[in-house]
């Protein structure tokens, strides 16, 4: 019997109307293609019906990019096969997978395919249920991006089905510019069905170290010092993350329900800031660097007797899960408030501010939040002052004050090299700020791509640009 590909929206598909941003939408139909051929059939059918398509994969986005605004939902969770893999002459490797494969499945597939030499794909968002297609479309990065650089360089090739039902194959080198426009392009030009990902060798040794600070200013000072000693001969800081006490409290209130982290002990009372580092490289050099950082942390007021140090993939994954729980628990709290008032959505920043110290950046955010009479959890990436300030409103009035505060920050910091949407995308939640987030030139380039591949406006309406723009 032929599989019914396009399904009418029913109550049981309600969860597909919302994503991790807690922003919800509406749709007329939904599909779960399991092959590229099925994707093409669905696209052709939707084109005939003149229906819009919203692409979904892991639904882990927090800017509302996967939330439908009417029309059809194409959910790629069934399109998650392994295609091929191999090793390049320069010692790096590749794996080709379908777009719906999530990060956890990808990592498992990489270990299965490369048994003798260990490889990994550097863009590693801490949300391991994020799918490859979504990571590529949103430009998601992860905690090690300051070391490994722009995540686009780890995509070698991709396959995309366009609005006319055609299949476009783009390769790094020949189609460099176009490929980089589609990566991070929030699905405005078509649906990515498969990608060849460039893998790099795993470091010989990684230590995951947590330093604790009673005083927020001390934590800021230490974070700033890290920027000056992030690399030695044979070792480097691969990730440097900050969590404030509110973020830690939210995690601890809910960690019982989180399998990976429920056995971690509580962070001691009196701690107001935590800095989590991953140091990678040759074993002796990593150890030496860890010793030097321990002294630095001591000088900055951290009690090194309290510092944690874990080794091995399993233990490091637990600490990454702890860090990820900062985002997840903020989202859960928003979900609770949203149940009481459906107008409330996620309120978080994704800005990297240059030209300020980490401590200064932290203080500005903290002071503004206090002045606005709001509560927020603050966590994020130290090396590029890229903090996720998650405002936690208790009611709609607070939500509006939070929206105004984020809009004000976006306006105030829209200058120079500041980046206002680093890794979450603009989606639908921040499209009203697009003129501040993207330059006119950047917007024009996106529009030209859209015009070329999707003149009828089939794909992901409302992402980046408000509808009708």
- Could you say whether residue 308 binds other proteins (CB under 8 A)? yes
- Could you say whether residue 82 binds other proteins (CB under 8 A)? no
How many residues of this chain bind other proteins (CB under 8 A)?
Answer: 25
- Could you say whether residue 155 binds other proteins (CB under 8 A)? no
Question: For the purposes of burial, counting CB atoms within 10 Å of the CB of 248, is it exposed (0-12), middle (13-18) or buried (19 or more)?
Answer: buried
- Identify the residue whose tokens are 């692409």: 55
Candidates 311, 340, 354, 400; binder of other proteins (CB under 8 A) is 311
3-state per-residue secondary structure call for 78-132: CCCCEEEEEECCCCCEEEEEECCCEHHHHHHHHHHHCCCCCEECCCCCCCCCCEH
- Could you say whether residue 287 binds other proteins (CB under 8 A)? yes
Minimum CB distance to other proteins smaller for 212 or for 365: 212
| Residues 450, 386, 419: CA angle, nearest 5 degrees | 35
- Could you say whether residue 42 binds other proteins (CB under 8 A)? no
Binders of other proteins among residues 93 to 152 (CB under 8 A) are 115-116
- Could you say whether residue 265 binds other proteins (CB under 8 A)? yes
| Cα torsion through 226, 227, 232, 234, rounded to 10 | 90
The interface mask with other proteins, positions 314-353, x = CB under 8 A, is xx--------------------------------------
DSSP H helices, 341-439, are 358-371, 396-412, 434-437
Question: Residue 212, SS3?
Answer: strand
- Could you say whether residue 11 binds other proteins (CB under 8 A)? yes
Candidates 6, 200, 294, 419; binder of other proteins (CB under 8 A) is 294
Minimum CB distance to other proteins smaller for 107 or for 418: 107
Question: By the 8 A CB rule, do 391 and 348 touch?
Answer: yes
- Could you say whether residue 205 binds other proteins (CB under 8 A)? no
C-alpha span between 98 and 85 (Å, rounded): 12
Minimum CB distance to other proteins smaller for 117 or for 469: 117
- Do the bridges between strand 167-171 and strand 53-56 make them parallel or antiparallel, or are there none, so unpaired? unpaired
Candidates 209, 248, 274, 464; binder of other proteins (CB under 8 A) is 209
Residues near other proteins (CB under 8 A) are 11-12, 14, 115-116, 209-210, 263-265, 287, 290-291, 294, 304-305, 307-315
């Amino acid at each position: 019997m032929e599989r019914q590909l396009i399904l009418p929206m029913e109550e049981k598909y309600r969860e597909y109307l919302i994503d991790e941003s807690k922003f919800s939408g509406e749709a007329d139909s939904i599909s779960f293609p399991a092959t590229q051929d099925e994707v093409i059939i669905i696209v052709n059918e939707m084109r005939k019906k003149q229906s819009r398509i919203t692409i979904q994969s892991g639904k882990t986005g927090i800017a509302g990019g996967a939330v439908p605004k009417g029309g059809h939902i194409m959910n790629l969770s069934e399109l998650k096969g392994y295609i091929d893999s191999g090793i390049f002459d320069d010692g790096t490797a590749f794996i080709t997978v379908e777009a719906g494969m999530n990060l956890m499945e990808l990592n498992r597939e990489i270990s299965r395919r490369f048994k003798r030499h260990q490889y990994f794909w550097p863009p590693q968002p801490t949300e391991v249920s994020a799918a490859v297609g979504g990571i590529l479309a949103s430009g998601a990065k992860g905690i090690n991006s300051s070391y490994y650089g722009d995540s686009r360089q780890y995509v070698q090739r991709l396959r995309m089905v366009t609005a006319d039902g055609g299949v476009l194959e783009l390769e790094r080198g020949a189609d460099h510019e176009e490929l980089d426009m589609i990566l991070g392009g929030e699905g405005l030009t078509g649906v990515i069905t498969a990608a060849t990902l460039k893998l790099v060798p795993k470091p010989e040794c990684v230590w995951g170290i947590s330093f604790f600070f009673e005083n927020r200013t001390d934590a800021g000072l230490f974070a700033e010092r890290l920027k000056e000693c992030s690399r030695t001969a044979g070792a480097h800081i691969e990730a440097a993350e900050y969590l404030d006490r509110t973020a830690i409290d939210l995690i601890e209130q809910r960690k019982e329900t989180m399998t990976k982290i429920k056995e971690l002990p509580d962070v001691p009372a009196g701690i107001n800031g935590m800095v989590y580092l991953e140091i990678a490289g040759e074993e002796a050099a990593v150890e030496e660097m860890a010793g030097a950082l321990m002294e630095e942390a001591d000088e900055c007021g951290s009690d090194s007797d309290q510092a944690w140090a874990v080794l091995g993939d399993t233990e490091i994954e637990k600490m990454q899960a702890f860090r990820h729980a900062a985002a997840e628990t903020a989202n859960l709290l928003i979900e609770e408030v949203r149940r009481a008032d459906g107008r409330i959505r996620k309120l978080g920043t994704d800005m990297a501010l240059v030209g300020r110290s980490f401590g200064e950046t932290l203080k500005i955010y903290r002071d503004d939040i206090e002045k606005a009479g709001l509560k927020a959890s603050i966590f994020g990436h130290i090396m590029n002052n890229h903090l996720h300030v998650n405002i936690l409103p208790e009611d709609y009035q607070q939500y509006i004050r939070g929206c105004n505060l984020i809009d004000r920050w976006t306006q105030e910091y829209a200058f120079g090299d500041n980046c206002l949407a680093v890794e979450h995308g603009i989606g639908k939640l921040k499209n009203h700020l697009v003129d501040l987030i993207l330059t006119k030139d950047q917007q024009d380039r996106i529009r030209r791509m859209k015009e070329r591949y999707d003149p009828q406006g089939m794909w992901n309406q409302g992402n980046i640009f408000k509808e009708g723009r």
